[in-house]
């Protein structure tokens, strides 16, 4: 009996228990095996070449769909990533899942429909983390959640919470940081914000999915300590603080087992150790074996196909899968469904307040942009600066976010020159026309990407070479210059350490040289704006411009948000949640990223090959726990811009550090006064690091264990910031005993403006070891990993 035939015949029960009216256990008890198996598998996804479906289940020509398509339920929200089956006889409604971290990703237009369904493109994750402001991130989440709700979706497939292990990961822009503490806290705020609208989130990609190359086949070999302290910790914090409705397992294998088939990961760690109460779904087409996935605690397979349903039914019938396991998976999904707007019958409007949300994104973006350099108070621009020359392609063609499933279909985006215009600046028209013509001609000459390739965007356009007369003329006729450098990346591919990607191109270097020479000769200022989703090389050119603003990718209002900072309407208060190394070779994972492909007969030219590679591959995380600043600070490698760094238009003084006690028992409070000592209002991010004794376990020199952002402080105004440390803040993971241990000894609390700009410190002692938490024996690698060992302190 084929599955597709069965699916049309199920769920017709008139009497019997109904979800919502009867306990979930009764509903599960009344379900047939067929019904259970169809609930744990999504309804599929339209791939290239498949007939389109609309709500009448008819194809583009208006004829009823034929074949397997005919039996698939109609699309409920066009362009949403996935849907689940409904079983009306049991009161079970479908659920609609939509990407992604930077906003809702659905089709903006629909056939035979004059309405539009645009969504707000919010700032990318990396920018949101750079705000270090959990309240602000909650507000962004709430606005995003409202669009999920009003466009008829149930769960947002985000936030993305993987650790930025290496600056070249193609999806870093979707992720928050190289540090798990800020990742977990910003992630929890996002979950709370989105879910406050009565819709769900799916924190992803769980776990150790830190590269895109061969992402479906990559075996990540990593020690349990590095997993626990770095790669799992952010997820743990988000789960325990915010209990997201769902978790999305990742594509990769961890120590030999697919994440979605990994019982250690999804049952022992996620549920037993952390107490996760929701359900787990796979990443799209992730993993191989539906039965192993069910057994591991991966409750739902997305986007789903009928073969998976059949495999589950067969396995139960053949005694290979205990139906009780399936009952658990089903119970978890139904428990989540009870909270969903579609189940509750919410009448969505398809009309979220996009104007209000544009304000949210404009403000959030300006709070996460980072002032990297500002010699002689170049910024904010003086009142006399009115005429600006905007150099660089990206000044005219702003990058609002990355590519792939993390991209959003927004109604408009504000370019830099539009933003400058809105702020009252005059952007030089001659230069503008030159760029317009150049960009138009170059774009016309490029092949159009279609299908999956279109999702990846088209690579950067080379900068045109501008002769010195033009630049000189600009220096003569304008008051200041801006040079925008742009980079984009996304799903399915990693970035490269080459010119035009991590490194600047020769033309970009030349442009910076020529523009700064000519403007400086006339005593005029040059500002470089970095419109990027992940670090680029800065050390070789950063001395040249007068100011550098790291704008990240700020969503649809990027141009306005940048102009708000340049004009001084907003004081920059973002700080780096990721290190900018001097050179790529300094990155601790430079020699192992993204991994190595293993000998195989397989060809890399399947249907998806252009979009992503999928050859057997492995990577060994021999950097262990020394990721990001944990490495740079411990191994004395000087970065170009360190973790936690960021300037303001004002200055802050830190004073009066106080500990509630100099002996630690259960918890300890740290207070610090932060005073605005400059002449304009501003906000300061204060970071709390701990230096722990390295007795039995080696430890990074510093680890972030708290952060706080002041309110907007007027000149002369102070605020007392309070941080609380618990025994977990002092603990490291001791693998042999599977226990988080806080070792006895002296601890130094360091509060500062960056990881290298510590302004106040104090110490306390812990008189005896605290065994903070014993966890399950999980995820051990099968081989010994030769991990980095820190220099003796």
Half-sphere exposure of 152 toward its Cβ, with a 13 Å CA cutoff? 18
Instruction: Report in angstroms how near the CB of residue 80 gets to ligand BGC at its nearest.
Output: 9
Choose between 283 and 743: whose C-beta lies nearer to ligand BGC: 283
Residue 426 CA to residue 700 CA, distance in Å, equals 50
717-720 contacts, C-beta under 8 A, 24 or more apart? 717/675, 717/676, 718/673, 718/674, 718/675, 718/676, 719/673, 719/674, 720/671, 720/672, 720/673
Helix (H) or strand (E) holding 418: helix 416-422
Closest distance between ligand BGC and the C-beta of residue 283, in Å? 5
Assigned token pair, 473: 């003329």
Measured from the CB atom, the residue of 100 and 103 that comes closer to ligand BGC is: 100
Residue 230 half-sphere exposure, CB side, CA atoms within 13 Å? 26
Q: In the complex with ligand BGC, which residue's Cβ is closer, 553 or 691?
A: 553
- Nearer CB in complex with ligand BGC: 81/587: 81
Sole residue written with tokens 């605005």 = 676
Comparison of 81 and 416: residue with beta carbon closer to ligand BGC: 81
**Dist CA 322 CA 316 (whole Å):** 6
Candidate list 99, 133, 214, 283, residue with the active-site label:
283
Q: Select 99 or 479, whichever has its Cβ closest to ligand BGC.
A: 99
Residue 598 C-alpha from the chain's centroid: 29
Rounded Cα–Cα distance for residues 621 and 606 (Å) = 28
Q: What is the largest CA-CA distance in the chain?
A: 85
Cβ contact 52:74 at 8 Å = no
Residue placing its CB nearer to ligand BGC in the complex, 283 or 367: 283
Chain residues binding ligand BGC by CB under 6 A are 81, 99-100, 157, 204, 283-284, 405, 491
Please state the closest distance from residue 252 (CB atom) to ligand BGC, in A.
11
CB of 157 to ligand BGC, least distance (A): 4
DSSP secondary structure string for all residues of 498-557: SBTTTBPPHHHHHHHHHHHHHHHHTT-EEEEEEE-SS----TTTTTSSSEEEE-----TT
Burial call 386-424: b when 16+ CB within 10 Å, e when fewer: eebbbbbbbbbbbbbbbbbbbbbbbeebbbbbbbbbebe
The dihedral sign for the CA sequence 68, 74, 80, 85: negative
Which of 249, 145, 253, 250 has its CA nearest to residue 189? 145
* Shortest separation between residue 41's beta carbon and ligand BGC, angstroms: 15
Distance CA(528)–CA(600), nearest Å, equals: 46
Please say if 283 is a catalytic residue. Answer: yes
CB of 247 to ligand BGC, least distance (A): 12
Minimum separation from the CB atom of position 304 to ligand BGC (A): 12
Helix 233-242 to helix 180-195 angle, to the nearest 10 degrees?
A: 30
CA distance 155 to 701: 40
Spatial separation of the C-alpha atoms in residues 669 and 526, rounded to whole Å: 44
152 or 581: CB nearest ligand BGC: 152
- The nearest distance, CB 101 to ligand BGC, in angstroms, is 8
Distance CA 770, CA 772 (A): 6
- Min. distance of Cβ 100 from ligand BGC in angstroms? 6
Nearer to ligand BGC, 175 or 181 (CB): 175
| Residue 204 or 575 with smaller CB distance to ligand BGC | 204
Q: How far is the CB of 169 from ligand BGC (least distance, A)?
A: 13
Q: Which of 708, 737, 764, 756 is nearest to 135 (CA)?
A: 708
Token pair listed for 563: 């102009």
Residues 489, 535 contacting (CB under 8 angstroms): no
| Residues recognised as catalytic | 283
């Amino acid at each position: 009996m084929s599955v597709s035939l069965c699916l049309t015949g199920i769920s017709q029960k008139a009497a019997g228990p109904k979800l919502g009216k009867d306990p979930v256990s009764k509903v599960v008890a009344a379900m047939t095996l067929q019904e259970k198996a169809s609930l744990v598998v999504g309804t599929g996804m339209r791939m290239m070449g498949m007939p389109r479906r609309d709500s009448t289940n008819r194809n583009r020509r208006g004829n009823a769909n034929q074949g397997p398509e005919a039996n698939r339920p109609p699309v409920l929200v066009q362009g949403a990533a996935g849907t689940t089956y409904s079983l009306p006889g049991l009161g079970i409604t479908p659920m609609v899942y939509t990407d992604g971290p930077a906003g809702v990703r659905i089709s903006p237009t629909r056939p035979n429909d004059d309405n539009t369904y645009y969504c707000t493109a919010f700032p990318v994750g990396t920018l949101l983390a750079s705000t270090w402001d959990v309240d602000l991130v909650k507000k962004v989440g709430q606005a995003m959640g409202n669009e999920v709700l009003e466009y008829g979706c149930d769960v947002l497939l985000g936030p993305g919470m993987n650790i930025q292990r290496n600056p070249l990961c193609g999806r870093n822009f979707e992720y928050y940081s190289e540090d798990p503490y800020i990742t977990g806290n910003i992630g929890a705020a996002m979950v709370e914000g989105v879910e406050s609208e009565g819709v769900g989130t799916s924190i992803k990609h769980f776990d150790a999915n830190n590269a895109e190359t061969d992402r479906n086949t990559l075996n990540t070999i990593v020690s349990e300590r590095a997993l626990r302290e770095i790669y799992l910790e952010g997820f743990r914090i988000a789960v325990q603080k915010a209990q997201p409705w769902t978790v999305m397992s990742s594509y990769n294998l961890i120590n030999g087992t697919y994440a979605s088939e990994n019982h250690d990961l999804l049952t022992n760690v996620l549920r037993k150790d952390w107490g996760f109460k929701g359900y787990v779904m796979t990443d799209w087409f992730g993993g191989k074996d539906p039965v192993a996935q069910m057994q591991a605690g991966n409750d739902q397979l997305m986007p789903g196909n009928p073969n998976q349903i059949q495999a589950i039914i067969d396995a139960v019938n053949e005694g290979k899968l205990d139906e009780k396991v399936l009952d658990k998976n089903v119970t978890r999904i139904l428990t989540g469904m009870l909270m969903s707007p579609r189940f509750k019958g919410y009448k969505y409007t398809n009309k979220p307040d996009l104007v209000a949300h544009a304000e949210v994104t404009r403000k959030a973006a300006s709070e996460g942009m980072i002032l990297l350099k500002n010699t002689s108070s170049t910024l904010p621009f003086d009142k006399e600066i009115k005429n600006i020359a905007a150099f660089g392609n990206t000044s005219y063609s702003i990058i609002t976010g990355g590519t792939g499933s993390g991209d959003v279909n927004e109604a408009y985006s504000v370019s830099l020159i539009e933003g400058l215009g809105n702020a009252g600046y005059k952007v030089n028209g001659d230069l503008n026309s030159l760029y317009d013509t150049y960009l138009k001609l170059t774009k016309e000459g490029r092949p159009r990407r279609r299908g999956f390739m279109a999702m990846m965007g088209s690579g950067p356009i080379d900068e045109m070479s501008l002769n010195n007369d033009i630049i000189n003329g600009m220096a003569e006729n304008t008051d200041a210059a801006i040079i925008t450098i742009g980079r984009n990346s996304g799903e399915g591919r990693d970035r490269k350490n080459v010119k035009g990607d991590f490194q600047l191109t020769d033309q970009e270097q030349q442009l910076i040289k020529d523009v700064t020479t000519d403007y400086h000769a006339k005593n005029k200022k040059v500002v470089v704006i970095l419109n990027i989703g992940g670090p680029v090389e800065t050390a070789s050119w950063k001395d040249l411009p007068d100011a550098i603003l790291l704008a990240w990718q700020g969503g649809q209002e990027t141009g306005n948000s940048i102009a708000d900072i340049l004009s001084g309407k907003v004081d920059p208060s973002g700080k780096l949640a990721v290190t900018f190394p001097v050179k790529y070779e300094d990155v601790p994972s430079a020699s192992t990223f993204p991994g190595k492909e293993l000998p195989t007969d397989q060809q890399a030219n399947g249907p998806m090959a252009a979009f992503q590679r999928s050859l057997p591959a492995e990577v060994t995380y021999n950097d262990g726990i020394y990721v990001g600043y944990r490495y740079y600070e411990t191994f004395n490698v000087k970065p170009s811009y360190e973790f936690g760094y960021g300037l303001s238009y004002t200055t802050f003084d830190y004073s009066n550090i106080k500990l509630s006690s100099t002996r630690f028992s259960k918890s300890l409070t740290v207070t610090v006064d932060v005073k605005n000592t400059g002449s304009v209002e501003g906000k300061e991010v204060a970071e709390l690091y701990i230096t722990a004794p390295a007795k039995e376990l080696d430890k990074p020199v510093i680890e972030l264990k708290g952060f706080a952002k002041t309110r907007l402080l007027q000149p002369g105004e102070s605020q007392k910031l309070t941080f609380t440390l618990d025994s977990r803040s002092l603990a490291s993971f001791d693998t042999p005993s599977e226990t988080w241990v806080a070792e006895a000894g002296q601890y130094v609390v360091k509060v500062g403006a960056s990881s290298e700009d510590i302004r106040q410190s104090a110490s306390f002692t812990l008189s005896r070891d605290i065994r903070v938490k014993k966890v399950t024996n999980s995820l051990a690698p099968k081989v010994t990993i030769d991990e980095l060992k820190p220099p003796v302190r």
